[in-house]
Amino acid sequence: MKKTLFIFLLFNAFLLNAQSAKNYHVKSQNLNVREKPNSKSPIVIKLKRYDNFKIIEEKNSLGWVKITYKSYTGYVHSRYIKKGKVNISYYSVRTGAKCRDGSSSSATGRGACSHHGGVSYWITSKRKSVSVEN
């Protein structure tokens, strides 16, 4: 009975901790995650802009928060982070066409290469879309 109660309490504590962790992301270009809450402490891992992580311990009096990222745990300063989970998606847009006769066109629609034998292939560019969910 005591063993069952202990497992139940341990499981509930785990669930409570998992639910209370807050989603944040890196707002600067790079962010050092440190072993201890100070800038002289060794770096555990370096994060990049828009990397998502969870705060597991709120900000101390000097502005440091304890975070978890994948299997890493460490401290970051709160001025370099922002609340919310970042979702990044990539998509392609037409930027022109390569015509069948070897010439190029900046047109991206139906009339592209109409006087040059038609479109051989479309020239595209990859774009990034960033959204934040709170």
pLDDT in tens, 68-120: 999 999 999 999 999 999 999 999 999 999 999 999 999 999 999 999 999 99
Number of domains observed in the structure of the chain: 2
Q: Which domain holds residue 96?
A: 88-133
Same domain flag for 40 and 97: no
Same domain flag for 74 and 19: yes
> Locate tokens 């069948």: which residue?
100
pLDDT in tens, 14-65: 544 444 578 999 999 999 999 999 999 999 999 999 999 999 998 888 999 9
The overall pTM is greater than 0.75: no
pLDDT in tens, 114-132: 999 999 999 999 999 999 9
Q: Which residues contact 47 (CB under 8 A, 6 or more apart)?
A: 26, 30, 31, 32, 33, 53, 69, 76
- With CA atoms as reference, report the closest residue to 74 among 40, 21, 33, 38: 33
Same domain flag for 61 and 18: yes
